[in-house]
Structure 1
Amino acid sequence: MLFQLDENDIWFPDPSLADSDGLLAVGGDLSIARLELAYDNGIFPWYDDRTPILWYAPHERFILLPSELKVSKSMRKIIRSAIFTVTYNTAFQDVISTCAKVKRFGQEGTWITKEMQEAYLRLNKEGIAISIEVWQNAQLCGGLYGVICGQKHHVFCGESMFSLLPNASKLALIYLCNLNKFELIDCQIDSEHLRSMGARMVSGEYYQKILHANH
């Protein structure tokens, strides 16, 4: 069942009521209050310039528990080489704009519209969204960004990542896991390279349980 949201009334239906593809609601806005409520309930916006705002709450979630992170020998060698520098939340706007520009296989255009970028920049200024940046010779060559959510602010919902050099986004994810700030990282999109790092599919019920844990 698809729910219609009103711009002036900030609420969401129960995530369990989402369609089989995860689509839950349409409409509303991208205000800080609505986005914060969405992510704290396992809901996120995903749409493009051709559609209204669409809100999803998938019945299965592709997640990585930092405690289950797998780092390959080749990545350990790259980390030891110190050819990259990694920073925390120092260039959010550069990261999100690069994520929007990077061409991806089988994808036309981007869902990271100007409206979305502006919304997440507002979240960043509130400390709700953060980025990880990877640099080589003072040039940004990889990174990721996402939203901090959950009852204890212990879940990181990854929105997008990019690599302009091989392994740069992997390094950003490893750094994020090693911060010891998050119990769970929502990777959203299933991919083979994330599976190789320990990511796996879990039920929506499991995800909600972690999201709402208060101890």
Structure 2
Amino acid sequence: MNLLLVEDDPLIAQGLVQALQQSGYTVTHATSGQCADGLLRAYDMDLVILDLGLPDIDGLEVLRRLRSRRHRIPVLVLTARDGIEQQVAALDLGADDYMEKPFDLRELEARLRALLRRSHNLNSDEIVLGPLRLSPFHHTASLASSRIDLPAREYEMLEALALNAPRVVTKARLAQRLIRQGDEVGDNAVEVYIHRLRRRLKDSGLAIRTLRGVGYLLEETD
């Protein structure tokens, strides 16, 4: 799962990034509202953790712009501002949850899991498609109850396909997932990883189908 953390306090951000990465999340960190707004326009994220007191545009303005684009990505507001007025303002603008600093990390992660399950219509902490089981919170995968060890990029690709199955995932969106793993990717990187995943899924009852000029979809086969 790919999270955007919008936090200008370096100590809080460092601790959160480290803790969330240890829990299996891919975390992109933005230190300002303008940076966050730009990232949300350019990339698909699974969830946003949003501070309100940012050095340029206010976190509420970031949220307003996001919802004005009719983007329903879950947003958890995490802020030192207290008072019911701030909470009501954030929720009215489309925030999905609200926590005040200081916070308990265990509660934060529990709320993240709940928001992610809700946004992806998951009934548990797993994504299940036929014989395939993925755990987004542990980055583990299994086929027919046998665990398969996937490198980070292959897992990201498979997770994106499984979350959206049987809908098509565009090549551009898959490329974004690869880029967020930290290294540069070549023009044919998506095709390379799709080829590797197809080999892993061979004779499993699942297949990745190409829709030329559109993208890829993961589907069960007869």
Greater helix fraction, Structure 1 or Structure 2? 2
Short-chain TM bin: under 0.3
Highest relative contact order (Cα 8 Å, sep 6+), 1 or 2?
Answer: 1
TM-score, reference length from structure 1: 0.26
